[in-house]
Structure 1
Amino acid sequence: MTTDRPPVWRHEYKHWITPQEDWVLTRRLERLFEADRHAGPGGVYRVNSLYFDTPADTALRQKLDGVDRREKFRLRYYGQDTGFLRLEKKSKQNGLCQKQSARLSEEEVRLLLAGQIDFLLHSGRPLLVELYSKMRAGLRPRTVVCYDRQAFVYRPGNVRITLDRALRRGNGPADFLDPEALACTVAPGGTILEVKYDAFLPDLVRMAVQVPGRRAGAWSKYAACRKWE
């Protein structure tokens, strides 16, 4: 598959929760919702991402400043399978999020990391051509972010609930294709809860993910990892 995925605007809410809250919430979600079918034994899988930014840290600064209209590019694969790599562009506008993605081969990613990006332009694929243009203007691979994810789905509302644990980072872009090259754990003792849905959030989900005293926030795994560089 080589075609870019059509973008869809979705709602997205994030919460930082404690290990105790995580334990209670996980037991509840396991009883109510279907586990992600891509997850391995135990329902958990690993997410490896390489985020791009400009020399002026535009993506980071826009996130920290709460800019309403912003975007970020990243490369991603799961577990230790570097045979399935994706380029993703995530946009945010008016509180809604949109993600576009396109498959890349490991050879193409290695070329990109080496600064050999002409293949992006010649691919004829809109998302890759856009990345080429922005890399020519200064965008560069910046930070490796890794965490363990447990995910649940609920078809009404196209809901996806994720629990991201053990957030950690790599030393630099060269580490991206080496799943074992991690520098440190960035956020020990906590979990990022994310709830994503289309037009509406079903009451069952709304009640299931409630954590007393917690409000949705603008928590960023990329920003958290950048703090430790």
Structure 2
Amino acid sequence: MAIEIFSRKEQKYLITRRQYEELVDRISPKMRNVKNGTEGSYSVTSLYFDSPDKSIYFETKNKLKYRQKLRLRVYDEADLNSTAFFEVKQRHKQVVNKRRMILPLREAYRYLEGDYKEDFSDIETSNPQVMKEIDYFRKYYDLKPEMVVSYSRHALHGVTDPELRITFDFDLKCRKHDLHIENGPYGDYFIDSDLVVLEVKVDHAVPLWLARILQELNCEQRSASKFCTSMELLSSDALPQSGYMEPKELEEPTIGGIENESDHELVFI
């Protein structure tokens, strides 16, 4: 059963395909491919939502301490009967909380079209409480389907620490003209096709051995928002400039740093 409510730390990097190959080789003794997909590789296609005044975009762009977004996601080839994941992703500094439920994609579309009972008793979902929270969030912000973001992902987890997870995302594309995610991963590239988005996901802290490898390969941490980058490519002319504010403290690119000799203490890698 999919984990529906969880919290973790996520750190993003923008690396080259050559760095990706070297990194996978270096971490292979301690990491293995996840069981999903083919040798840990699969496609991800997500429908993102925003309000008419693009409030979700500006929360992320302005790097608010607390920000959140709503998305509907499928994996690999999908049709209306496939399992979809509806989730609210909340971020406070580097800690990410997700509240997620699963339902057939056709049920998700039926909900978005307003064809359901007020108490959601006629919606097939794994978690009615999360369904209510998603509905509240969507109505509070007046969220509407905004765009589709898709990519290929290679995911690994720790051999002895399954909570340590590393993902590499390639061929990142977006589109606005076809918001049916069952139509698959296609669209315009919003990041250079030679670049890879690396995410390190942990419950507590990144282990020392991984921090050292990231340092040695000069992997720089980057705040790379797929949502914002796609929005700026697809809707730059429509973005209301009055909503943008520079964050008080800009996030500078950094390379993995060690706080002490503990196997688990790490800051801002």
TM superposition score category, shorter chain reference: 0.7 to 0.9
Distance, in Å, in 1 between the alignment partners of 2:133 and 2:41 is 33
Alignment of 1:75-224 (within 5 A): 75-82=72-79, 83-113=82-112, 115-116=113-114, 118-119=116-117, 121-123=119-121, 125-137=128-140, 138-154=142-158, 155-156=160-161, 158-172=163-177, 174-179=179-184, 182-187=186-191, 188-210=193-215, 212-224=217-229
Aligned to 1:25: 23
- What is the alpha-carbon root mean square deviation over aligned residues? 2.3
Higher mean Cα deviation, 116-125 or 80-89? 116-125
Following superposition, the deviation at residue 118 of structure 1 comes to 3.4
For 1:109, give the aligned amino acid.
A
Q: 1:178 to 1:201 in 2, by over 3 A?
A: same
Q: Deviations over 1:19-75 (max 9, x none)?
A: 2212211222334311111131x4311011111111111111111111010111111
**Structure (1 or 2) with the larger CA radius of gyration:** 2
> What are the ranges of 5 or more consecutive residues in structure 1 without an aligned counterpart?
none
TM-score (norm. length: structure 2): 0.75
Where 1:88 maps in the other structure, the secondary structure is: strand
For 2:149, give the aligned amino acid.
V
Distance, in Å, in 1 between the alignment partners of 2:63 and 2:216 is 24
TM-score (norm. length: structure 1): 0.87
Following superposition, the deviation at residue 171 of structure 1 comes to 2.8
Where 1:196 maps in the other structure, the secondary structure is: strand
Distance, in Å, in 2 between the alignment partners of 1:211 and 1:52 is 38
Structure 1 ranges of 4+ moved more than 4 A:
none
Distance, in Å, in 2 between the alignment partners of 1:221 and 1:121 is 33
Q: 1:30 to 1:119 in 2, by over 3 A?
A: farther
Please tell me whether the aligned partners of residues 40 and 156 of structure 2 are also in contact (alpha carbons under 8 angstroms): no
Distance, in Å, in 1 between the alignment partners of 2:151 and 2:118 is 28
Please tell me whether the aligned partners of residues 168 and 183 of structure 1 are also in contact (alpha carbons under 8 angstroms): yes
Following superposition, the deviation at residue 173 of structure 1 comes to 5.6
Q: 1:119 to 1:46 in 2, by over 3 A?
A: farther
Distance, in Å, in 2 between the alignment partners of 1:44 and 1:219 is 21
Q: 1:211 to 1:53 in 2, by over 3 A?
A: farther
Aligned to 2:241: none
Q: 1:94 to 1:183 in 2, by over 3 A?
A: closer
Please tell me whether the aligned partners of residues 121 and 132 of structure 1 are also in contact (alpha carbons under 8 angstroms): no
Higher mean Cα deviation, 149-158 or 46-55? 149-158
Following superposition, the deviation at residue 11 of structure 1 comes to 1.1
Following superposition, the deviation at residue 177 of structure 1 comes to 1.9
Distance, in Å, in 2 between the alignment partners of 1:4 and 1:151 is 16
Distance, in Å, in 2 between the alignment partners of 1:152 and 1:174 is 29
> What are the ranges of 5 or more consecutive residues in structure 2 without an aligned counterpart?
122-126, 235-269
Match of 1:71 among 48, 68, 71: 68
Q: Deviations over 1:121-147 (max 9, x none)?
A: 424812211222233341112110100
Please tell me whether the aligned partners of residues 146 and 176 of structure 2 are also in contact (alpha carbons under 8 angstroms): no
Please tell me whether the aligned partners of residues 12 and 222 of structure 2 are also in contact (alpha carbons under 8 angstroms): yes
